[in-house]
Amino acid sequence: MRNKSLIIVLTLIVSALCLYFLSFSFVANSVQKKAEAYATDAQGNVDLAKKQSYLDSMWNEPVYLGMTYKEVTEKELGLGLDLKGGMHVVLEVSPVEIVKSMAGNSKDPSFLKALDRAQEMQRNSQDRFTSLFAQAYREIEPDGRLSSIFSNSANRGKISYESTNEEVINVIQAEVDAAIDRSFNILQTRIDRFGVTQPNIQRLKGTGRIQIELPGIDNPERVRNLLQGMANLEFWEVWTPQEFNPYLMQVSQQLDQLQRAGKLNLPNTAAVAAKAPVAADTTEDVLAQAAGTDSAAIAANTQTDTAAALAADSATLNQQGGVLASLFTMMPNGLGANVRDTATINELFSRPDVRTLLPSNMKFLWGVKPITEGKQAFVELYAIKKGRDGKAPLGGDAINDARQDFDQHGRPEISMTMNPTGARKWARLTGDNVGRQVAIVLDNYVYSAPVVQGEITGGSSSISGNFTIDEAQDLANILKAGKMPAPTRIVEEAIVGPSLGQEAINQGLLSTVAGLVVVVIFMIAYYSRGGMIADLALLFNVFFILGVLAQFGASLTLPGIAGIVLTLGMAVDANVLIFERMREEAAKGRSMREVINAGYEKAFSSIFDANVTTFLVGFILYFFGSGPVKGFAITMMIGIVTSFFTSVYISRLLVESTFKRAGKLSFSSSLADKMFRNVKFDVMKIRKPAYGFSIALIAFGFIAMAITGPNLGIDFTGGRSYVVEFEQAVPASEIREGLLDDFQQEGTEVKTFGASNRVKIITSWLAEDESTQADEQVRTALEQGLQEYAEFNPQVLSSSKVGASMADDIQNTALIAILLSLAGIFLYVMLRFRKWQFSLGGVVALLHDALIILAVFSILHLFGISYEMDQVFIAAVLTIIGFSINDTVVIFDRVREYMHDNPRATIRQIVNPALISTFSRTIITSLTLFLVVVILFLFGGEVLRSFSLAMIIGVLAGTYSSLFIATPIVVDTIREEDGTKQPVATPQVAQKVR
């Protein structure tokens, strides 16, 4: 074996890395168990608040290799929402409101008609909204100029009356993209403040959508309000330390008295709060008037007096000791606190007896950006001065534009311009606060608090300081958040209750273990000691998959578990290829050393081609999929890479090591000796009946689909679904009849889901309306309809929503994914086999498999056996495409080998020997995968039922098409050369090898 030492070293390195990254999961789980033990009383009841308090106390404490519990949880292998419970949301930033705002809410009839028309076109188009708007306006007003609508004061410097329509659209698109970036940043900040463990937020490339996953959420309504609320940008006056210090002293005395009287209960963490060191230098953060017609120059930010006053205050507090002294610490620009103590401070300052000591126009806000010192994080506290009506002196709607720029010294700064009304208010605000701070606040968090050096007139200002370019860009985006309305709407939502999550974990573990056991037993029974080696390589494979998932910070989902289960079945394929090659070589009388070398060398090209084509399908799934499909694709791609490494390299190390130690090695058993002996068939003779059978079955399926309609899930149709559990079984048809009136006789489907007392309710009522109000209306109608069964205590375990526009996009991307998979496989096969006929045969067979799955689902639906066709169904179809081409490529590879070894033989003479020589491998691989997906169907749970059924049908169809569709098409399309070629002798079936 070449490079043996390198393979050993690489195996050890990968194993060590996987063990290292998986160890974080064990440590995190250990801390969780300790928290649960701490919070469990004598009766076995768990106090969730006490458990959370324990975890909070450990959050910044070192627990493993010097890393804090927070850092450990960031590195552990997380669980997806379907296993842990939580909320999945896809938000879409509405470009319509942005366009209206840029047009100054124009009432131009052509403009309004173009907006409406663009919204209609977007339902069936993947193009950007701005492009559709431009197209619609051109259709309605061929000679119209968009500049006449958009050349206003808000767009000064960007759009003039002379701007072309194309230039106007480019500016609008830039604003839409910037609005999406702003929304993403704002949502990220809001979620970080929400207190969710391991949240996930990401932009969906090529769309104006943002995907958010929040594990463990138990208040979905609060989340919806949080995510869909408009950004609230405000400018506030700030109390100076000299002004609020006397009040702070009074509060400190009051709290100390309560503590001495035993009437104040503080968390233990407050008493040991770490202190932040005072920075040696002060941060320069100056707000001054920009150059231009204004004469005021940019002045330096002098905070010496402020810093001295704060130092005095801090010293006074420390001398007095007590509650506030243990909570507050000195920060570079003011008082601050450890992040973990902010909740305690908020609670103290909201007490009625404390509020009476503070002025009515004083409120406290935290800085948004923590300052990290070692393992501790600190945030600054600002005393905000409210106006008479409680409103901010200036709002974000006053801002015309804000952008990152550079000052005369080349340092990053933010340039800001305001509209005329805002400029007047700004001049008054800055004039009244010379030498004082003005706080820039978004969603009640202070992003910056610059010191004003003089009254700023003219509406143009700049903010400078020790910013990086990225920080300056972020602040500019925050300032623009108030100027540009970018409302978000939920276009897809799924809520999974914790009970369903635990059930999914149990089902996933059961199906994984059962699948592994079946494969292990079969391989040992068929290949004897060689099977044991393959099983050991399989265990390495599962270990590597989990380790790599942990290393990349991915989450394990139920479809991801399905991907692992499928990998168990598909990983066997490489070992089967190798072992069957070894059996063939041994039948020729070669020595065991020659058998091992020839088996691995001759099987390599088939294994490589098969894995590349399957990986290609996985990549397309990942690129175009979302949610569960993406999780499945990640696991499948990782599994393909690890199974290639373990099957080709690690198994060879084990084979050679076993042979060297024992002097012999068996790749056969009595079962293997008896199966596939003297297999003979002529595929060319039965190809036409096979073509006819396939065409008839597909035609019947499409007729059934025409009669009943395709049973599409809400992923493709749009709508809302709910999983409801009752205390005892209730007929699904009865529930449907009871809900029809509540759902206005709109399309409603109710079916048993997993258990006899659990149903899944799907409705298309108000599917076109994606608003929160529509969500509440449908939920209320559902609850009213279920009142009839109040005695059975109905509980909604999970819910899901897919908006109509999202459903259209999912349909389009599903179709694109399938077509791209076929196109990619066509090109790869043609590249590898040098003949387009092989590509055609392979792709036709794959299309055949996809249509067979669709046809059988439709036929089952016709006879009352309904399984939804949704995103996970598409994942199954694409997986079968990967499996089937894997099988087909192995056969093609043997045909190519025989053509090379027998150049004078015709393709017809080669096909049957090639099929017969690979027949055992084809059946064994299909059988192992078939057993695995049957186990997945039986034990994987209702969520994966349609997926596993599609896989069962696909495995059978894929095996059939590889033998009777793909290769015959190659023969039928290759033009025979006459004559004189010699026939090829059929290879003998391998005999038992010991």
Confidence bin at 300 (pLDDT 50/70/90): very low
Q: Is a pLDDT exceeding 80 seen at residue 288?
A: no
User: What's the mean pLDDT when you consider all of the chain?
Assistant: 79
Q: Is a pLDDT exceeding 60 seen at residue 800?
A: yes
Nearest to 718 by CA among 759, 770, 774: 770
Please spell the DSSP secondary structure of 850-876, one letter per residue: HHHHHHHHHHHHHTT----B-HHHHHH
Please spell the DSSP secondary structure of 895-958, one letter per residue: HHHHHHH-TTS-HHHHHHHHHHHHHHHHHHHHHHHHHHHHHHHHHS-GGGHHHHHHHHHHHHHH
Tokens of 464: 């400078």
Q: For residue 969, give the 3-state DSSP assignment.
A: helix
Q: Is a pLDDT exceeding 80 seen at residue 413?
A: yes
Min mean pLDDT across 33-37, 205-209, 338-342, 787-791 is at 205-209
Residue-wise pLDDT tens digits, 81-109: 767 777 888 888 878 888 888 888 888 99
Residue-wise pLDDT tens digits, 829-840: 888 888 888 889
Find residue 662's DSSP bridge partners.
none
Confidence bin at 984 (pLDDT 50/70/90): very low
Confidence bin at 523 (pLDDT 50/70/90): confident
CB within 8 Å of 737: residues ≥ 6 apart:
none
DSSP letter for 27, please. H
Residue-wise pLDDT tens digits, 138-185: 999 988 889 999 988 778 788 888 899 999 999 998 888 888 887 887
Which pLDDT score is estimated for 488?
76
Rounded Cα–Cα distance for residues 245 and 253 (Å): 13
Domain regions of the chain by residue span: 4-76, 90-227, 233-484, 497-706+808-973, 719-802
Min mean pLDDT across 76-85, 262-271, 844-853, 966-975 is at 262-271
| 328 or 46, higher pLDDT | 328
Residue-wise pLDDT tens digits, 838-859: 889 989 998 999 999 999 999 9
Residue-wise pLDDT tens digits, 456-467: 888 888 887 777
Read off the pLDDT of each residue in 713-717 and give the average, rounded to a whole number: 75
Read off the pLDDT of each residue in 326-343 and give the average, rounded to a whole number: 81
Rounded Cα–Cα distance for residues 153 and 102 (Å): 10
Read off the pLDDT of each residue in 725-736 and give the average, rounded to a whole number: 85
Rounded Cα–Cα distance for residues 622 and 882 (Å): 14
| Residue carrying the six token digits 């469990």 | 40
Confidence bin at 749 (pLDDT 50/70/90): confident
Q: How far apart are the first and last CA of the chain?
A: 21
Find residue 276's DSSP bridge partners.
none
Residue-wise pLDDT tens digits, 929-964: 888 888 888 887 777 788 889 989 999 999 999 888
Which pLDDT score is estimated for 278?
36
Confidence bin at 114 (pLDDT 50/70/90): very high
Confidence bin at 272 (pLDDT 50/70/90): very low
Which pLDDT score is estimated for 289?
30
Residue 761 and residue 735 in contact, taking contact as beta carbons nearer than 8 Å: yes
Confidence bin at 481 (pLDDT 50/70/90): low
Rounded Cα–Cα distance for residues 679 and 755 (Å): 45
Q: Could you tell me which CATH number the domain at 719-802 has?
A: 3.30.70.3400
**C-alpha 155 chain-centroid distance:** 36
Read off the pLDDT of each residue in 229-251 and give the average, rounded to a whole number: 84
Which pLDDT score is estimated for 282?
30
Residue-wise pLDDT tens digits, 418-439: 888 889 999 999 999 998 999 9
Which pLDDT score is estimated for 406?
86
Q: Is a pLDDT exceeding 50 seen at residue 923?
A: yes
Nearest to 932 by CA among 574, 563, 618: 563
Please report, rounded to a whole number, the percentage of residues in the chain having pLDDT higher than 90.
Answer: 10
Rounded Cα–Cα distance for residues 373 and 365 (Å): 21
Tokens of 781: 């109608």
Strand ranges for 374-431 from DSSP E: 376-385, 394-395, 399-406, 412-418
**Where are the alpha helices (H) located in 123-164, listed in sequence order?**
129-140, 147-150
Read off the pLDDT of each residue in 878-892 and give the average, rounded to a whole number: 80
Confidence bin at 50 (pLDDT 50/70/90): confident
Q: For residue 433, give the 3-state DSSP assignment.
A: coil
Q: Is a pLDDT exceeding 60 seen at residue 219?
A: yes
Which pLDDT score is estimated for 501?
60
Tokens of 693: 């059978």
Which pLDDT score is estimated for 927?
86
> Which of 192-196, 260-264, 295-299, 800-804 is the most confident on average?
260-264
Fill in the amino acid letter for 418: M
Which pLDDT score is estimated for 280?
33
Residue-wise pLDDT tens digits, 604-635: 887 888 788 888 888 887 877 666 677 778 88
The CATH label, of 1.10.540.10, 2.30.30.30, 4.10.490.10, 1.20.1640.10, for the domain at 497-706+808-973 is 1.20.1640.10
Rounded Cα–Cα distance for residues 479 and 472 (Å): 11
| 936 or 196, higher pLDDT | 936
Which pLDDT score is estimated for 975?
67
Tokens of 607: 């294994």
Query: In what order do the strands lie in the sheet containing 755-763?
Result: 200-204, 209-215, 86-93, 488-496, 795-802, 719-725, 755-763, 748-753
Which pLDDT score is estimated for 825?
84
Residue 909 and residue 682 in contact, taking contact as beta carbons nearer than 8 Å: no
Read off the pLDDT of each residue in 561-567 and give the average, rounded to a whole number: 72
Read off the pLDDT of each residue in 894-920 and give the average, rounded to a whole number: 82
Confidence bin at 294 (pLDDT 50/70/90): very low
Which pLDDT score is estimated for 498?
60
Confidence bin at 701 (pLDDT 50/70/90): very high
Which pLDDT score is estimated for 691?
92
Nearest to 560 by CA among 89, 885, 81: 81
Three-point CA angle 311, 316, 320, nearest 5°: 150
Read off the pLDDT of each residue in 865-887 and give the average, rounded to a whole number: 79
Min mean pLDDT across 398-412, 429-443, 562-576 is at 562-576
Q: Is a pLDDT exceeding 90 seen at residue 909?
A: no
Q: Is a pLDDT exceeding 50 seen at residue 410?
A: yes
Q: Is a pLDDT exceeding 60 seen at residue 362?
A: yes
